[in-house]
Copies of this chain bind each other. A is one copy, B any other.
């Protein structure tokens, strides 16, 4: 019990510096840069985390824990799956988390996979309640529909980052707030009114493969 607070203090300082640098520069960021941000040497990082890969894993866990903690607190108003990010995008202190999560999405990290799985399962519950309450139409496959609504947010972010012609690390809270604001109108319009003037295309498609045509259909939704 000597003085573990001091030790764990620099440890979390390294960890937060790593989250920030990974988010700004990508996961190729060097240990020396992270160490410099934390005000220590690269060897200290190794002492505390053993390896860069291990540091990356602990960053993933840390980000997931922080987001999860915030989520359970701000659960009430989230409905479309994107509103959480919308709220978070407005807050300066969440920018490192946003950047890190986006990096993880683009690099294929555990943070993105776990976060996405968790958010989708929650959204599935919300949607089921919405359908039961009569606010939402039922779907032929609720899980695929949830994945589709998430696609909108994710694809919108990717396109916006691409159009910005800047690196992910340079984008600030204003950018994300504007990005999500801009998405709201067309998304609500599509959700409320659809796109096709009639149902012929859908009906033709459903006829083409009458529900499941004997093949693997709905039980293997992903993977």
A residues neighboring B (CB under 8 Å): 28, 105-108, 112-113, 116, 134-137, 139-141, 144-145, 147-156, 158-165, 167-168, 182-199, 201-202, 205-206, 221-223
Contact = CB atoms under 8 A, between A and B. Distances in A.
Given A155-B155, A192-B195, 10 more contacts: A106-B106, A108-B168, A112-B162, A113-B163, A134-B197, A140-B186, A140-B189, A147-B159, A151-B151, A188-B205
Contacts of A167: 108
A contacts with B: majority SS: helix
Q: Report the copy number of this chain in the oligomer.
A: 2
Contacts of A116: 159, 162
9 contacts: A108-B167, A144-B182, A144-B183, A147-B156, A150-B159, A151-B156, A189-B202, A192-B195, A193-B194
* Most chain B CB within a 10 A radius of its CB, from A163, A167, A183: A163
B113 A165 contact: yes
Nearest to A144: B186
Nearest to A151: B155
